Structure formats: C-alpha cells, structure tokens
Structure 1
Amino acid sequence: MAKATPVRSGDQLAGCAAESDAERAAAAWALADEPLTTFLQEQVVPYESDEVTRLIVDTHDAEAFAPVAHLTVGGFRDWLLATATRPDAAATLTAVAPGLTPEMVAAVSKLMRNQDLVLVAQAARVTSAFRTTIGLPGRIATRLQPNHPTDDPAGIAAATLDGLLMGSGDAVIGINPATDSPQATARLLHLLDDLRQRFDIPMQSCVLSHVTTTVDLIEQGAPVDLVFQSVAGTEGANASFGVDVRLLLEANEAGRSLGRGTVGDQVMYLETGQGSALSAGAHLGTGGRPVDQQTLETRAYGLARALDPLLVNTVVGFIGPEYLYDGKQIVRAGLEDHFCGKLLGLPMGVDVCYTNHAEADSDDMDTLLTLLGVAGAAFVIAVPGADDVMLGYQSLSFHDALYVRQVLGLRPAPEFEAWLAGLGMADPQGRVLPVDLDASPLLSIASGA
C-alpha cells in the first residue's frame, strides 16, 4: 500500500515510501492483483488495539459489498471507471458505498490517474442537509471563514459581510476561535445566530472549538448549529485530539437533540488532513510498520461515515511541506481525499490551501479548485483575500468561489440562492450581482457589530 502511493514527502519522512519509480510501479502492479476480500481478512491497523479498525470492520455491510466482492483492486478500478459512464452511476455507487472499507478505497485510488479520480467522484452523489442542502448536482457550496486573531466582533462581522455579499456561506459560516474558552465560543455563537435571525439567512453556523466545549455549551443552552471536531484514522491520533468514538457519537446525539435544522438534521462538521497521524506519532500499523498517510486519512473517513455528518473536509495543504511538499503533491492529495471520501458516502469538501513555506502558489490552488469543481466537490473554504490572518495560511478567496461557479456553471445551495435572489443579490441563474452597499441591509452587519 505505502510503496504503491504516488510520491509525497510525509511517506518519505515516515520511511515507508518507495525508493524509486520502478519500486513504486512494481508495488502498484502487485496491489492491483490483491483481491478486495484481503482487506476484510487482513487489517492495516490491528483490530485488537485500534477502535477505528473495530468500527470499520464491525459496521461493514456484506450485502452492499457483494456486487464487487469477486474483484481484485485492479478489477475494482476498471469497475468504477465503467460504472461512472453509465446512466445509473450515482445509484450504483451509493448502493455499494456501505460495503467498501477505507482501505479498499485507498488502495484503488493509488492505481488511478488524476482524471480517473475526477471521473468517478463526479459520478458519485452524496447530499446532506441542515438549513441548506449540500452536494446537489450542479452546485458547489462554500464555508465562509471569517477568522480574526483576537476574535474581535467587528473584524469578524466585516469578513462575514464581505463573504455574504459575494455569495459565500451556504455550507457554513465557521469561525476558528483564537482561544478555546467556553465564554469566547459562546459569544461567537450568539454573534452568528443573531446575524442569522436578523436577516433571515438560511445558513448554519459553527465555532470550531473542541467537541467537549461545544457539548458543554449545548447543555447550557447556547445556540449551537453544528458540532465540530478534527478526526484522524487511528485511535492514537484521535486520542491526541482528545476524542474517541464514544465521545463523538454522544456529541452527534447532543447536537441533534436541539432540533435546529429546517431541511435536515445532520449536525456534525468534521475536518481531516493527511499527516495528522504521523504528527501524533500514531501512524504505525500491524507489526509496528508505518502506514502511509493517505491510507490513514481515508480511515478517518470511515470514522466520519459513522457520524452521518453534514460536512467533511480535508485541509489538504494546511499541515505543511513535511507531508505534502509542493503544489503537485497537494493537487494529487486533494483529488485523492475528495474521491475517497465521496466514494465512502461522505458530503466531501476540500480546503484548497497551502502554507507559506511550501513549494506551492495560487496557480496550483486554481488548478485544484477547478478540478474539484469538475469532480463535484460539495464545498470549498473561502476567506477574505485568500489569506487567513489568524491561522496564517493561504486558502481560497470569495472571488475564487465566484470564479469556479462561473466557469463551470455551478450554483450555490438552493435555499441560500433563493435568499440571495430575494435581496436582489443573485440573478435567475444563481450568479451573484453587484450590490449597492449604501442601499444594502447587510451593511448593518458591520456597522452594528
């Protein structure tokens, strides 16, 4: 598995990467001949010592797996590519998803070209809903990320206004707080909920505090829409985040108990990223051997699937060049993550991003964004000017989201689009129109903060 993986710096750092192109090609050839059933009989991370493995194995749907159970990994690739060209592709891929384990999906992705990853992901259909519907064909949503270094309400309001005026925020308005204090989190939750009610915006909000902070605030009556948590592909890596499967399942139930959704009740927002397990020293599998970072990332999607989330996204270039060295590696990883998550049945988005010390730039992000738009990504993340001033990394701008909608004919989530049109901010095709700031009721978001 590891040696068949396309080149990436994290696997080289972990000591599990192929040492030459010839070795990588030989490993891919051998992997292609492995039966899919091997992944049910042999575990990459031991069942006895890892609860993520136990969750994956114990929830496997043998009936859904039956149509592909006779295939090898290479045969599964051929099956996916053939299925993607058929009129019933979406229904077929949806039906087989519960029968696929993360390791099967990670394995087949290693045999696929970028165009293969795009083709199959585009054919898959995964929708979710809370106050807006995410993942519908012909649409791409955005997380509006109005972070501020000191959680200043005026700064957050200004960034939020900037995004709303450019049609962003239909996936979620989500703030990474500068601290994890319950008081600061509660203030931000009330700020966003007041905004939603004041302007009757069909949106969901989220303050990305630790899940335990959010659950405590739910018990105190705070206006929590979505419950956030970063997750990973091994028990040890999740322990480094301060979570386990039981806690996440309880948090999901706590969020749903509020009944705040209008068109759906999916309340979990989960983030992942290749390299997180290695960062935590929790990347070793059976026999103490290192597991490649992309397989571990896909295992995180197996955990996410059990939580029936509204949103999942990989922060693909956020951890740094130690794991994804340059633009080529980031683009490949973003397409892999999106493909694997969607094939497992997740409403998959991507934070198209890079750190300033990586060998990447905005041209690489333009390429990945366009490919993800073609591949049917559920959502992307957008920040003012593509520069997150609190987290200190480069993501997409609100203008980038407008670009991909325009060039590919994509639209916002339908409920959010209707709201934009009602304010005269979108045309009948869902395209955002110029707004007279002096006449816009949204101007009071910033002036009244």
Structure 2
Amino acid sequence: MAFIHRVGAKSYAFADLKELMAKATPPRSGDMLAGIAAASAEENVAAKMCLAEVPLKAFLSEALVPYEADEVTRLILDGHDRAAFAPVSALTVGDFRDFLLSDAATPQALAALAPGLTPEMAAAVSKIMRNQDLILAARKCRVVTRFRNTIGLPGTMAVRLQPNHPTDDAAGVSAVILDGLLYGCGDAVIGINPASDSLPVIDRLLKLMDEVIRRFDIPTQSCVLTHVTSSIALMNRGAPVDLVFQSIAGTEGANRSFGVDLSVLKEGTDAARALKRGTVGQNAMYFETGQGSALSAGAHHGVDQQTLEARAYGVARVFEPLLVNTVVGFIGPEYLYDGKQIIRAGLEDHFCGKLLGVPLGVDVCYTNHAEADQDDMDTLLTLLGAAGVTYVMGIPGSDDVMLNYQSTSFHDALYVREVLGLKRAPEFEAWLEKMGIAGADGRLLPADAHHPLLGFVADQAA
C-alpha cells in the first residue's frame, strides 16, 4: 500500500508502511548507514504527517517483516489481543498520540491496553511525538515486577549494581559490590558481565553473589550476564542462578546471531522459574536490547532500527521478565552518532517498552568514539528519571573497566533520587535502614569503618 503526502508544490511518495516508518524516524546514523533514512528534513516531516494519518489497525494487516519468514512477526501477530485493542482500534496514529497525552490515558487504562498494542504501533506513535510527549506518556505507564523485591512501583527507581572486572577477580568484584551497596545501589540486580565464558568461572561468580546475598539477607537478586544456554547448563549442575540473562533483538535473524530463538528463551524461562528462588515473585528473566543490533547482524529487512528495537520488547514481554534494558549508546556512533541521537533514542525506547508492558530500564551510556559526553548522560538520566524509568546502571565512577564504555555511577543515582525524590525498591530501602546504611528517609548515613559488609571483601581477598 503506497502513501503520498504533499508539502507545498512537492509530493512525497512512500511505497509501503516499512518505508514510511523509516522516513518518519528522527535522524540517526544507523538508518543512514542502512540507506533507509529520509533524504531531507522536509521529507522527514512529510513522512511524519503521513504516518499520523495511518490507522493503527493497518499494522495488523501489513507486516514490516514477512510473517512467513520471521518467528518474531508470528509471535507478535498471533499473540495480539484484539479485545484489549478494541478501545483504540478506530484511531489513527495521530489520534493515538492525542489519546496518550490526554487525561483518559490513565495508568489503569494503559495497562489494560498494552496486550492490544503491537510494537510497530508503539514505534509509529513515538515517531510523531516530541521528547516531552515521550516523557509524559511513559510516566503514566506502570509495569511492576517481583523476584526478591518489588521493581517499578510509582515514585521509585532501581539501580543495577554492575561489578564487572577485567579478569573476573573475586576480590575486585567484591569490592565493587561493597561500594555499590554502601551507596544504596543494587535493588534491581547485582549483575556481572563476565570477562570469561568458562562455566567454572561463571559458577564461581554466581556463588560469590549468592554468598553475599544470603550472608546479609539482602532483598535483591543476582545475575551473571552469560548466554542463556550457559545458565541452563549451570542450573542443571545446581548452581545458584537467580535471573537468567539473554541479549535479544527484533527479528528472527538477529536473535539467531545471538545464538537463540524463542524456544531456547522459553527453555531458560521455564528452568529459572522451576527453581523458585524468588521470595515475593517469580519474574526470573533479564533481557538486554539496543538499537542497531539487527542492522549489525545483517538481519534488519530494511526496517528502521527503532521499530526493530520495539519489536525486541514484543519478544521480551512474552516471558514476563523482571528486568529489560536498552543499552542505548553501547553499540556505537555507527547507529547513534551523538548525544542528541542517544538522548532521543533513550526516550523512545523507554516509552515504547513501558507502553508495551515491559519493565524497561536504560543503560544511559556511550562509547568513547561517539560524539557524546557525560553532560549528555546527565541530561538523559534526568529526563528518564522524570519519565519514570524502571532502573539504571550503577558503575564506579561511571567507567566500566571491563566493557570499556561510559555509563552512570552510584553518585549519579544519588543525584537523580535527590532531585526527583525517587525511592528504591521498598524491601531494599528497609534493608538499607536495618543495616545502618541509610536512614528512614532513604538518605545515606555517614560511613562506618567497621561495617559488617567490609568483612565480606576481606574474606574474598584472603
């Protein structure tokens, strides 16, 4: 189905929904690299205006990635909840934007609507929204998940404590865990990106985190961010696996490049839930995504990277994860060139994920060869805090010494909590008070040189 929009004396034609979506996307280097971006600002505006007139139901009859060739498309369309979609089924993309910004779009209404929305619908409406629109609408979306604590409650923001080490050294990892906990971070997860794929090394890291969680009765969960099949193998050996991790993308081909398909993800989910290690819930999966992954894998089907990112959230929500995050600036400037593009992408991803019912966090980050700096990250972190982001990363000095990229620090989390009045997960907040790390108001107390947590690090060093 072709689309035509006239701007002054000039007409712009778009061959199909796929081209229209790509041309309506705010500028980003990945779509330019793929050769699908608008050729001018005028064409971009024409595409946005044309997209605003497209009925939402058009996305149910015209698949951007062929149904017969892609299991993600089949998952999205076969699982679509038409009853949930009914309240907005007569709307255009533009009408839907107006609805999302209206008082009628309450948290309850948006939660009920989520199963009726396809990722393509969410991506489409995001393309015609300003940054403030993305913040306002996302703030109204409530997605609450549970394992050993409760993530996503209104007025809260969790932090993933990320104790990566270039050699997976136990003392080094333990020192960062201590540092993060004493700064009040770690309620989302204590999650390690291992330097090694060795199962014995990963098993050792799992046991290290399990020991500190059990020794101090911390209401949080751990995860080693290894391949899902490695987690399955370790669970079969009796390893203390809390959350099962996997990177996912928005097409079957891109997921295949990660070495997974939907059946493998289901196997990992079922195995983790069977362990019943959660105390307040059994949301046992942790997924990471990022704009540009499908293009990088040569599996983008000519679809713009932001729409494919939204499709990754369509994959994630089926498995009811505890956590999902977009590693927004990690893939590099080939996909998001500078701070402006990273900020826009972070707000889009957060909005689309929450609208689709996914507990979305954001790794507010960039690589050192991108045209971005920590001021850009401060801006994005603040905007996401205002938008109700589920969680962010906590890394010493915001500099990951293993992955070699820049993210957000323990201090950054303190900043955004102070400015926006954000609390931690309630169970974790109570633990911090019990341990003398924070007061009843959530503020950190003066450091105690004899705090019992220090003994854990000494034990690991020994």
User: What TM-score bracket applies, with the shorter chain setting the length?
Assistant: over 0.9
What corresponds to 2:9 in structure 1? none
What corresponds to 1:375 in structure 2? 387
* Whole-Å separation in 2 of the counterparts to 1:34 and 1:77: 12
Q: SS of the residue aligned with 1:18?
A: coil
Please tell me whether the aligned partners of residues 4 and 27 of structure 1 are also in contact (alpha carbons under 8 angstroms): yes
What corresponds to 1:390 in structure 2? 402
Q: SS of the residue aligned with 1:3?
A: helix
What corresponds to 2:38 in structure 1? 18
* Whole-Å separation in 1 of the counterparts to 2:78 and 2:378: 40
What corresponds to 2:10 in structure 1? none
Please tell me whether the aligned partners of residues 411 and 431 of structure 1 are also in contact (alpha carbons under 8 angstroms): no
Shift of 1:433: 2.0
Q: SS of the residue aligned with 1:357?
A: coil
* Whole-Å separation in 2 of the counterparts to 1:259 and 1:426: 30
Shift of 1:205: 0.1
What corresponds to 1:116 in structure 2? 133
Matches of residues 197-236 of structure 1 in structure 2 within 5 Å? 197-236=214-253
Q: Does 1:447 align with 2:458?
A: yes
Matches of residues 395-414 of structure 1 in structure 2 within 5 Å? 395-414=407-426
Show CA shifts across 1:347-384 (max 9, x none): 11000000000000000000000011010011001111
Show CA shifts across 1:163-205 (max 9, x none): 0000010000000000111111100000000111111111100
Shift of 1:435: 1.8
1:303 to 279, 292, 315: 315
Matches of residues 39-188 of structure 1 in structure 2 within 5 Å? 39-82=59-102, 85-86=103-104, 89-188=106-205
Q: SS of the residue aligned with 2:358?
A: coil
Q: Does 1:31 align with 2:51?
A: yes
Show CA shifts across 1:14-58 (max 9, x none): 000001100000000110110001000000000000000000001
* Whole-Å separation in 1 of the counterparts to 2:67 and 2:426: 43
* Whole-Å separation in 1 of the counterparts to 2:360 and 2:377: 17
Shift of 1:402: 0.5
Shift of 1:445: 2.3
* Whole-Å separation in 1 of the counterparts to 2:419 and 2:425: 17
* Whole-Å separation in 1 of the counterparts to 2:454 and 2:238: 29
Shift of 1:432: 2.1
What corresponds to 1:293 in structure 2? 305
What corresponds to 1:258 in structure 2? 275
Q: SS of the residue aligned with 1:52?
A: helix
* Whole-Å separation in 2 of the counterparts to 1:298 and 1:43: 14
Letter paired with 1:235: E
Show CA shifts across 1:257-295 (max 9, x none): 0000001000000000000000000001xxxxx110000
What corresponds to 1:287 in structure 2? none
Letter paired with 1:42: E
Please tell me whether the aligned partners of residues 131 and 263 of structure 1 are also in contact (alpha carbons under 8 angstroms): yes
Show CA shifts across 1:300-351 (max 9, x none): 0000011100000000000000000000000000000000000000111000
* Whole-Å separation in 2 of the counterparts to 1:48 and 1:434: 61
* Whole-Å separation in 1 of the counterparts to 2:416 and 2:394: 12
Show CA shifts across 1:128-159 (max 9, x none): 00001000011100000000000000000011
Please tell me whether the aligned partners of residues 121 and 339 of structure 1 are also in contact (alpha carbons under 8 angstroms): yes
Q: Does 1:242 align with 2:259?
A: yes
* Whole-Å separation in 2 of the counterparts to 1:122 and 1:427: 27
Q: SS of the residue aligned with 2:457?
A: helix
* Whole-Å separation in 1 of the counterparts to 2:98 and 2:169: 52
Q: Report how many residues are paired.
A: 440
* Whole-Å separation in 2 of the counterparts to 1:93 and 1:363: 33
Q: SS of the residue aligned with 2:101?
A: helix
Show CA shifts across 1:211-257 (max 9, x none): 00000111111000000000000000000000000110111000000
Shift of 1:107: 0.2
* Whole-Å separation in 1 of the counterparts to 2:427 and 2:444: 14
Shift of 1:446: 1.5
Q: SS of the residue aligned with 2:22?
A: coil
What is the TM-score of this pair, normalised by structure 2? 0.95
* Whole-Å separation in 2 of the counterparts to 1:77 and 1:360: 30
Q: Does 1:418 align with 2:430?
A: yes
Q: SS of the residue aligned with 1:270?
A: strand
* Whole-Å separation in 2 of the counterparts to 1:203 and 1:392: 26
* Whole-Å separation in 1 of the counterparts to 2:424 and 2:55: 41
Show CA shifts across 1:379-414 (max 9, x none): 001111100000000000000001001110001100
What corresponds to 1:366 in structure 2? 378
Q: SS of the residue aligned with 2:362?
A: strand
Q: RMSD of the alignment, in Å? A: 0.7
Q: SS of the residue aligned with 1:271?
A: strand
Q: Percent identity?
A: 69
Letter paired with 2:336: L
* Whole-Å separation in 2 of the counterparts to 1:75 and 1:239: 37
What is the TM-score of this pair, normalised by structure 1? 0.97
- Note the residue ranges of structure 2 that are not aligned, 5 or more in a row: 1-20
* Whole-Å separation in 2 of the counterparts to 1:247 and 1:229: 10
Shift of 1:118: 0.2
Letter paired with 1:443: L
* Whole-Å separation in 1 of the counterparts to 2:89 and 2:198: 49
What corresponds to 2:286 in structure 1? 269
4+ residue runs over 4 A deviation? none
* Whole-Å separation in 2 of the counterparts to 1:432 and 1:31: 49
